[in-house]
Structure 1
Amino acid sequence: MVQNKVLRLGCSKIGASAESPRDPQQEKDSAVQHNVDVQAMSATARGEERVCVIGCGKSGLIGCKVLTQRGVAFDCFEEGSQIGGLWVLNNDSGRSACYDSLRINTSKLVTRFHDFPVPKHYPMFCPHQEMLAYLESYVDNFGFRKHITFRTQVVSVIPQLKCGFTVFTKALDTGKVLTRHYTSVIVACGHHWDPLWPKFTGNFMGSVSHSHGYRSPKPFVGKRVLVIGGGNSGMDIAAELALSGAAKTILSCRRPVHVVPRWVFGMPSDVAVQPWLGVTVPRRWVELCAAGAFWLSRGGSQESYGLPTPKFGLFGTHPTVNPGAGDILQLIKKKKVTPKPGILCYKDNTVTFLDGTSEEVDAVVCATGYNAKVPFLPEDCPVTKDGKTELMHLVVHPKLPGVYFLGFIQAHGPMIPCVESQMSYAADLIQGVSELPPPEKMGKTIAKQHDFNRKNFTQVERHALMVEFHRYLLQTQMARCPKDKRGLGKKLWRTKRFLQFCAGQTC
């Protein structure tokens, strides 16, 4: 009942007609009574841009920084009590999957903000403590911490006809619900927080957990452990368990995966492909060169170590980087990790695999990914549907113009450059520098994305948000073409932007 009153108040304040003037003091008193943010309401009533940023992990921080630099008013809401998102160990938001030994999978040379270098004394592949310190110093350097409200949950974002978005927030420590109005909303809460569980056939008598809750190998010492999933988390956890006292470690992968080494010939493997190379050379050529370099650097194929080699190309799936806890291929070769195919069924403590073999295990850790969910948005505006993205350029939903998604992406490369490019595009749209195409054209663009993914990536659920790193950066930059450019002017702008991108200006 109160919620309906608040909604009517928000719309009447912003779109009040001349025929029904209201007393300002009466309006203010009514707003306070119904927990309405008067400052936010009055700002939007004056036609000023005011943006709501949801989440302050690395994606949300990029959003805050760009808005600060562009002079756009904003508020940022974070469920936890500190910045950092996934890089906060035991984050009280409950959304972080960070564990004790976690470190970045991409080198600091590419996993950095374009205008804020990683400290030189940091190791090449930083542990979570140093990544968090880096994010903290980023906030302090650009001075926007005062705009972040911690321990606050965004309950719902409701599009309003002709008046932006009504945002309901809840203070987690007091339970107080506050209503605000914004002209735009940036969704930067991430998609690695709602665990995706595999289907279990039969009954298993041991313990079952998800990698989202994994913190250290201590609970598994002396136990026979089955890790399900060949992604980064699955292989990282399997390697750590094998080196930390598990009686036996088994790694089950439904399909073979490519394992990418962190180092190739003494240098990080992710620095070889330059922007110009990533967008001008045929994908297959780059794929073959990279695979050849990996084969030479480790002295043979994966199969020679005991891990099946996929039949699809290196870029056909999200890369699995060799774990920081140990060389997974060496551990498999030394019989410390036992690779297995997908699971057929469970019975008591026995797991039977698709190849007909069985193993006795005490515990199962499911490193099987996450659901891409945004519960505070309308139900008819999902991020993905039937294993396909619903977002144009993975930033804009056709049904929600004015809402911009940051970080809802899987790429062959680091996340930070992708989000910086996304935010540059979103900020141009917010400020009216660029404009969205008509809904039917947005639908055609999304259909092209689906077709590209179908042709180039393996068709599994976790690849719904998959992109090729450099091609995606260029795509989002080209989408920023100013709305006043037409004909020859547009072609010249795009040519200039392409040359700048090839020269290394990716943001």
Structure 2
Amino acid sequence: MPPSPQKPPSETKVAVIGGGPQGLCALKNLLEIGFDAILLEQRDRIGGLWAYSDDPNTVTVLESTLANVSKYKNCYSDFPIGKDEPVYYTQAQFLDYLERYADSFNLRPQTQLNTTVLSISKSNPHGWTIKTQNSSQETFSHFDKVVLATGAYHTPSIPTLPNAPLFTGQILHSSAFKHPASFINKRVLVVGFSNTAADICAELVAHHAASVLVSHRRGIHVLPRIVNNKPVDLFASRRVASIGAAIAALAPVKSLGLVEKAVADLSEKCWELDPAWGFRPAPPRITNRVMLSDTFVPQLRDGSLKSVANVKQIVDGETVELEDGARVVVDAIVFCTGYHRRDPQFLAEILGGEEGGLVPHRLYQNIFPPKYAESVAVLDSWQLGSGICEVADLACMAVAQVFKGAFEMPEEDCMNKEIDAHHRWVDMVLSKEPAAAPKVVQEGKWRAWLHAAAGTGVNENLGYGWKGWWFWVWQPRWCSLLMGGIDSPYIARLFERRRRKWEGAGRAIVEANEDLERRFGKGHEGKGGKKIK
């Protein structure tokens, strides 16, 4: 659809709901263009999941959590992580990065903490009324546009165990696992194969639980953070990713199979997995995150952990029967079984949906509800292996340009047709993985659209059209570094186009590659890390 008449950004009020990594960069990108934007956060601090709380009813990462994406890939496009900072951030370090980002771009004056959104309703054809509560006071405010950055980790998913009332020990979800020292000398059963399960198992072993069993119904791909002496997330350069995207465009299902085989082979070569541990068969990487852990497999190998079958039922106050008929005696059960998304009715009506469909919402590019594409954006309906800061920043650049009216969106019926086509693809390739289907995107195609909407110039200058070839002829060494070196988030701010260019982007790209070489050696063949035999 041609951009409709828009008020100037300075006269356009935008509400960003949620103060995690996505909400913060949404606020920053909107303010950068000149929108009158404000962020509403229900907690007393920014940071989202990374703002640790020991309240069992508040979902956060553990204090001991280590980021699964390296600093080279998990940073904002114009706020670099220094060369002297660690390759993988801890919880406290990542939270500090987010807070420094907020301070650097002066986001705090536009942030309202301790503010709960109670409802969002259409107040007129061009605006929204948001009802909020701060302390005991309820307020109604009008906004022209709304960005939803509330995250997908809402309601803990806890399976119902037959005879659960018989169990006299402790049963809790991973979201309530806050004090690992309280499990000293206890026999603990961890249910689930995931990054969260790996983190919790490591904490239980470190805090001297009497025994730690990990129960699961299927496998998972598992990798260390460093493979062949470089961060595992750096295996695909922009050149490799571009080739992969081209293959996916021609044969989307076949390309998924090729990626699955590559990840499975890499996992086997890294660890030489014992079949008794149950890592195979593994669900597809596109719907289930790869487990990144440097401790999980070694602890299985040395006996600190034991892999057992899926839980069947409770037998008595301390005995659990497994699906293979074995029985185990435990003092506590920790469910690492993910979360349900439970949108309030007012939000479900805005986002649309399909009864019984794998994908509960109808979102163009997994961001925009077609009926309200010029005034509503959702920033949590994708699942990628990339860093949250990098992909959220790119998505927020795109949202800001759409809201400004600078990027031409399709007509509503065309958006719906594209959504239908995407849902058919989801149904075809993910019918056995319904839980993760709502957040799946075809990554290469999706990223290309984000770059086009944001106006980064990346598609043109680093593609295979005439501009891309000219850039290579004009600056071959520089082009080779961009295509074959780190596929850095800073590239999104390198070229002069619609979104604001960052003059420091080129220097930051060079310094990131130099830092990688300094740490891991020329060609990244330095010391340390998991060697592939």
TM-score (norm 1): 0.80
Residue in structure 1 matched with residue 212 of structure 2 by the alignment: 249
1:393 matched to which residue of 2?
365
2:300 to 295, 315, 332: 332
SS in 2 for 1:89: coil
1:71 CA drift (Å): 0.8
CA separation of 1:307/1:223 partners in 2, compared to 1, >3 Å: closer, same or farther? same
1:318 aligned to 2:326?
A: no
| AA matched with 1:99 | L
1:159-213 superposed Cα distances (whole Å, 9 cap, x missing partner): 12323101111112xx111111111000111111321221222223321111111
Alignment partner for residue 198 of structure 1, among 159, 163, 167?
159
The one-letter amino acid of 2:292's match is N
- After superposition, the Cα gap between the structure-2 partners of 1:176 and 1:376, relative to the gap in structure 1 and judged at 3 Å, is farther
The one-letter code of the counterpart of 1:388 is V
Aligned counterparts of 2:59 and 2:449: Cα–Cα separation in 1: 30
The alpha-carbon distance between structure 1 residues 208 and 275, as it changes in their structure 2 partners (threshold 3 A), is: same
CA distance in 2, matches of 1:46, 1:258: 46
Distance 2:124 2:176 in 1: 41
Q: Provide the residue aligned with 2:448 in structure 1.
A: 474
| 1:333-352 → structure 2 map (5 Å cutoff) | 333-348=301-316, 349-352=318-321
Distance 1:211 1:312, change over 3 A: closer
Distance 1:106 1:342, change over 3 A: same
Q: Give 3-state SS (helix, strand or coil) of 2:188's partner.
A: strand
**Does 2:380 correspond to 1:419?**
no
Specify whether residues 365 and 260 from structure 1 end up closer, same or farther in structure 2 by C-alpha distance, changes over 3 A only.
same
Q: Distance in 2 between matches of 1:104 and 1:206?
A: 32
In structure 1, the residue corresponding to 2:304 is in which secondary structure?
coil
Moved more, 497-506 or 249-258: 497-506
The AA in structure 2 aligned to 1:356 is G
The aligned counterpart of 2:35 is 72
CA distance in 1, matches of 2:216, 2:444: 28
CA distance in 2, matches of 1:171, 1:140: 23
Contact 1:260 1:321 survives alignment (8 Å): yes
| Equivalent residues of 1:49, 1:183 under 8 A apart | yes
> How much does 1:416 deviate?
1.7
Asked if structure 1 preserves the Cα contact closer than 8 Å seen for 2:44 and 2:114, the reply is yes
* Distance in 1, Cα, partners of 2:404 & 2:60: 35
- Name which of 339, 344, 356 aligns with 2:325: 356
Give the unaligned 5+ runs of structure 2.
1-5, 248-254, 472-478, 494-533
8 Å Cα contact 2:198/2:296 also seen in 1: yes
Question: C-alpha displacement at 1:65, in angstroms?
Answer: 0.8
Residue matched to 1:52: 15
Q: Matches of residues 79-118 of structure 1 in structure 2 within 5 Å?
A: 79-90=42-53, 95-118=58-81
Post-superposition CA distance 1:33-59 (Å, at most 9, x none): xxxxxxxxxx98999211001111111
Alpha-carbon contact 1:319-1:412 (below 8 Å) kept: yes
The answer to whether the aligner puts 1:366 opposite 2:323 as a matched pair is no
CA RMSD of aligned residues (A): 3.2
143-152 or 386-395, larger mean C-alpha shift = 386-395
Equivalent residue in structure 2 for 1:296, among 233, 247, 269: 269
Alignment of 1:3-14 (within 5 A): none
Worse-superposed segment, 73-82 or 438-447:
438-447
Q: Give the CA deviation at 1:259.
A: 0.9
Q: Which residue of 2 aligns with 1:410?
A: 383
- Give 1:209's aligned residue: 172
Identical positions, percent? 24
Deviation string 1:310-357 (CA, Å, 9 cap, x unpaired) is 33576344223333xx52111112222121232222222222222222
The worse-fitting range, judged by mean Cα deviation, of 200-209 and 178-187 is: 200-209
Q: 2 CA distance for matches of 1:444 and 1:396? A: 14
Shift of 1:279: 3.6
Amino acid at match of 1:327: T
How far the C-alpha of 1:452 sits from its partner, in A, is 3.2
Tell me if structure 2 keeps the 8 A contact 1:156–1:377.
Answer: yes
Unaligned runs of 5+ in 1: 1-42, 483-489
Counterpart AA for 2:105: F
Q: Judging changes above 3 Å, is the alpha-carbon distance between structure 1 residues 461 and 383 closer, same or farther for their aligned structure 2 residues? A: farther
SS in 1 for 2:158: coil
CA separation of 1:46/1:254 partners in 2, compared to 1, >3 Å: closer, same or farther?
closer
Task: Please list the CA deviations of residues 87-133 of structure 1 after superposition, one character each: whole Å capped at 9, or x if unmatched.
Answer: 11117795432222112111111111111111222221111111011
Structure 1 residues 462 and 105: CA distance shift in structure 2, 3 A: same
* Cross-structure match for 1:19: none
Contact 1:167–1:182 (8 Å) recurs in 2: yes
Provide, for residues 269-314 of structure 1, a one-character-per-residue CA deviation record: whole Å limited to 9, x for no partner.
001112332242343444444444443333x2x235x422433576
Aligned residue type for 2:349: D
Number of equivalenced pairs: 450
Partner-residue secondary structure (3-state), 1:230: coil
The answer as to whether partners of 2:221 and 2:282 remain within 8 angstroms in 1 is no
Distance 1:498 1:215 in 2: 50
Alpha-carbon distance in 2 for matches of 1:46, 1:191: 29
In structure 1, C-alpha distance between the alignment counterparts of 2:58 and 2:111, rounded to whole Å: 18
User: Is the counterpart of residue 119 in structure 1 residue 102 in structure 2?
Assistant: no
Matched position secondary structure for 2:69: coil
Q: By how many angstroms is 1:216 displaced?
A: 3.0
Q: Which residue of 2 aligns with 1:184?
A: 145
CA 1:497/1:424 → structure 2, altered by over 3 Å: closer, same or farther?
farther
Give, in whole Å, the separation in 1 of the partners of 2:68 and 2:29: 26
Shift of 1:453: 3.2
Deviations 1:348-398 (A, max 9, x none): 222222222221121111111112234373443458764414122221123
Cα distance change of structure 1 residues 442 and 109 upon mapping to structure 2, 3 Å threshold: same
* Contact 2:218 2:279 (C-alpha < 8 Å) held by counterparts: no
1:260-279 equivalent positions in 2, closer than 5 A = 260-279=223-242
- More displaced, 98-107 or 58-67? 98-107
8 A Cα contact 2:171 2:332, kept in partner? yes
| Secondary structure of the corresponding residue to residue 167 of structure 1 | strand
Aligned to 2:233, what secondary structure does the other structure show?
A: coil
Alignment of 1:228-239 (within 5 A): 228-239=191-202
